[in-house]
Structure 1
Amino acid sequence: MQQSFGKYATLTALVDQETAQQLMPEYASFQVTTGKVGSMDLKKVISSVETAAKRNGIINGEVYRETHALYHAIIEAAEGVTRGKLSVGEIMRTVGLTFSIVRGRPYTEDAEGEWIAVCFYGTIGAPIKGKEHETLGLGINHI
């Protein structure tokens, strides 16, 4: 199952949670939340995902390792969106993204513990309507 954990997070960002669960029912027990964010400020993108994860019980904001794991998954996904250059507004780019956050145990061995995945799907480009293109980023980290 571990080889499909990222696929499930990506599918959820691309379609919706209900459709993703229908297509991949083996992940029905995993915690999932989705959201949308648009900004020229990468800090707003990061904080939107972090806030959604805390509000929807995906992570416990009082436990550092959970926040830390989420942060690394967000950064890895953002690097995919921005092609490895973690900058948006400073270089006149804006993003409009749908995101998914998935938490669970993708390995059959309990000792592997819980993992978290963040996937972004949407657009990136000049802050001019019609001057953007699609983008996708996925980050996975152990908790």
Structure 2
Amino acid sequence: MPPMPPLSPSQACPCGRSSPSGKPLGFTSCCDCFLDHFETTPAPDAESLMRSRYTGFVLERADYLLATWQTSHRPSAIEFDPGVKWLGLELRHHRLLDATHAEVEFVARQKSPGNPAVRLHERSRFVREASRWYYVDGDAL
């Protein structure tokens, strides 16, 4: 299945990040640089990587999701469920454990056709390798 069409530059970023004044950041000012320029623009911290990975799921960007998954835990492929609508991301906690390890707790909401909306609550683990953050795995909460 091909990825979802790109967001318009003025659209709010799916990850929900806001400016210091509380205004939602536009996609091009937020996750777009990480998704479209992965090789040259890595996410600066685990929280930004978590947000950009959520956006990767919204846009069905398997290439980005696989590239940002730590190799020892990376699946061989990602398949998206047809018709899933992502409804929002709430970051509950971001904790830097040391210079190369971090955790991010989040709740993501999604709805599949014909089913009620569900909440995915996870504490994710991240590792920094060669100046780049990667998603390792997570525990459902």
Normalising by structure 2, we get a TM-score of: 0.34
Larger helix fraction of residues: 1
Larger relative contact order (C-alpha < 8 A, sep ≥ 6)? 1
Normalising by structure 1, we get a TM-score of: 0.34
